[in-house]
């Protein structure tokens, strides 16, 4: 087992430093950390079974919404993101914003290659299923601003870089989402002689999603860091306070997964062939985006930490926004909404697996970015 999950549970920053034997590392891990993939798998299965077995559970969970997203999911996301953002050393953000290689690479991966790749995969693999195809294109347009922070932390990525890239994605999401939706659903298919569609989404809907799911935990994390360091000092803050709140990131993740799949469990389990058809382009998308981001970071001679952050921010998607937009535009029982729901069903296990793939390459990277 790698030091990844030790880091995620809030261990001291020194856990990232000198190499340690596998036995010693495993001995320091909590039960939650050691069997994290198992807990995530069980959370997915539990959610699917609950959604299937308990009549009306999905309607009850979805009855109260925050910006089109179920309130329990919203709360789970906030609990999940706060501990990680409280770990960010905000006084180090300048070094990240000065790294134009990483910022430029992230923009190209997220806002040029990502949507184009999903468009191509959707049309290539789902030419006969227009609703699912449109739903996947919407997923490709919604760049990740939430769960990617967890995957990055599990893989020992650069927290400060993740905070900057997520904020950058948020700004572009507000500015570019609707325009790219028109481009990939109407203009480009029209130019290619393909079937056209439309997307009815307001800039405020996107902006409010960003404010709720990134803005709130970001402000809380920043205030925690500032107040905590002022009151106790950095060492005490990072060795006493952070280990106490660290596990809540994973509790929030598991809770979110259970609720998410409970909401859509009936749809997913009642249409297994459709889910399989939707899953194929998603699997190709996540693998290609992560692999491309990782290769690009390595090619630019970045450190392991920043390469990992680049790869995960490129591969992850904002399924909360994609599902909310699909439901608002096409309806809760639409194929577009189902495609959005299948997104995290595939993304969660794939990106958990890629955490371990990342760590397998960690020793091959330089310790510092080259000038």
Q: Which of residues 14 and 48 earns the better pLDDT score?
A: 48
- Stretch 293-310: mean pLDDT: 94
Q: Is residue 8 part of a domain?
A: no
- Flag whether pLDDT at 107 surpasses 80: yes
Distances from the Cα of 366 to the Cα of 17, 88, 307, 356, 370, angstroms: 13, 22, 11, 19, 8
322-363 confidence digits (pLDDT tens): 877 887 788 766 888 888 888 888 888 899 899 999 999 988
Residue range 179-203, pLDDT digits in tens = 999 999 999 999 999 998 887 777 7
Q: Is pLDDT above 60 for 370?
A: no
Residue 213 — very low, low, confident or very high, per pLDDT cuts 50/70/90?
A: confident
Helix (H, G, I), strand (E, B) or coil at 106: helix
Higher pLDDT, 268 or 39: 39
Asked if the structure places residue 9 within a domain, the reply is no
Query: What is the rounded CA–CA span in Å between residue 107 and residue 110?
Result: 5
Angle at which helices 100-108 and 159-182 pack, to 10 degrees? 30
Question: What does DSSP assign to residue 13?
Answer: G
| pLDDT of the residue at 30 | 58
What would the mean pLDDT of 252-266 be, rounded to a whole number?
Answer: 80
- 281-297 pLDDT tens trace: 999 999 999 999 999 99
178 band by pLDDT with thresholds 50, 70 and 90: confident
Percent of the chain, pLDDT > 70? 86
* Average pLDDT estimate for 210-226: 87
The CATH number of the domain holding residue 294 is: 1.20.1530.20
Which of 352, 342, 351 is closest to 322 using CA atoms?
342
The whole-angstrom distance between residue 65's C-alpha and the CA centroid of its chain comes to 20
User: Would 26 be classed as within a structural domain?
Assistant: no
The total domain count for the chain is 1
Q: What is the pLDDT of residue 92?
A: 84
Share of the chain above pLDDT 90, in %: 37
CA angle at residue 259 from 52 to 155, to 5 degrees? 125
- 237 vs 223: CA distance, rounded Å: 12
Is residue 312 one of the residues assigned to a domain?
yes
Please indicate, yes or no, if residue 23 is contained in any of the structural domains: no
Is 369 part of a structural domain of the chain? no
Q: Among 103-112, 205-214, 230-239, 243-252, which is the least confidently predicted range? A: 205-214
Q: Is residue 11 part of a domain?
A: no
Q: How far apart are CA 146 and CA 20, in angstroms?
A: 31
Q: Does the residue 24 lie in any domain? A: no
Q: Is 130 helix (H, G, I), strand (E, B) or coil?
A: helix
From residue 106, alpha-carbon distances to 109, 155, 169, 306 in Å are 5, 18, 9, 11
Give me the mean pLDDT over the 276-281 stretch: 94
Residue-number span of the structural domain to which 360 is assigned: 33-364
Distance, CA of 368 to CA of 249 (rounded, Å):
28
């Amino acid at each position: 087992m790698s030091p990844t999950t030790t880091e995620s549970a809030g261990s001291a920053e020194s856990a990232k430093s000198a190499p340690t034997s596998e036995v010693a590392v495993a001995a320091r891990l909590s039960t939650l950390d050691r069997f994290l993939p198992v807990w995530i798998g069980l959370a997915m299965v539990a959610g699917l079974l609950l959604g299937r077995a308990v009549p009306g559970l999905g309607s009850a969970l979805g009855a109260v919404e925050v910006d089109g997203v179920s309130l329990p999911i919203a709360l789970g996301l906030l609990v999940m993101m706060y501990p990680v953002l409280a770990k960010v050393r905000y006084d180090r953000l300048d070094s990240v914003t000065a790294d134009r290689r990483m910022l430029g690479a992230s923009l190209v991966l997220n806002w040029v290659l990502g949507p184009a790749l999903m468009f191509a995969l959707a049309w290539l693999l789902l030419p006969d299923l227009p609703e699912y195809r449109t739903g996947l294109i919407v997923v490709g347009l919604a760049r990740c601003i939430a769960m990617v922070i967890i995957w990055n932390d599990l893989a020992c990525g650069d927290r400060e870089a993740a905070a900057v890239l997520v904020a950058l994605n948020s700004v572009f999401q507000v500015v570019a989402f609707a325009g790219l939706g028109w481009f990939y659903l109407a203009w480009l298919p029209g130019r290619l002689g393909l079937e056209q569609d439309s997307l009815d989404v307001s800039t405020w809907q996107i902006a409010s999603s960003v404010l709720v799911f990134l803005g709130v935990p970001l402000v809380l994390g920043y205030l925690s860091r500032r107040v905590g360091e002022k009151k106790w000092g950095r060492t005490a803050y990072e060795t006493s306070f952070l280990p106490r709140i660290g596990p809540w990131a994973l509790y929030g993740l598991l809770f979110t997964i259970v609720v998410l799949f409970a909401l859509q469990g009936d749809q997913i389990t009642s249409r297994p062939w459709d889910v399989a058809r939707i899953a194929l382009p998603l699997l190709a998308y996540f693998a290609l985006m992560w692999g491309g981001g990782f290769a690009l970071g390595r090619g630019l001679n970045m450190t392991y930490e920043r390469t990992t952050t680049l790869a995960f921010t490129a591969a992850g998607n904002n399924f909360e926004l994609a599902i909310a937009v699909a439901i608002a535009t096409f309806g809760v029982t639409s194929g577009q909404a189902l495609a959005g729901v299948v997104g995290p069903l595939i993304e969660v296990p794939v990106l958990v697996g890629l955490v371990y793939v990342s760590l397998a390459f960690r020793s091959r990277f330089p310790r510092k970015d080259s000038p």
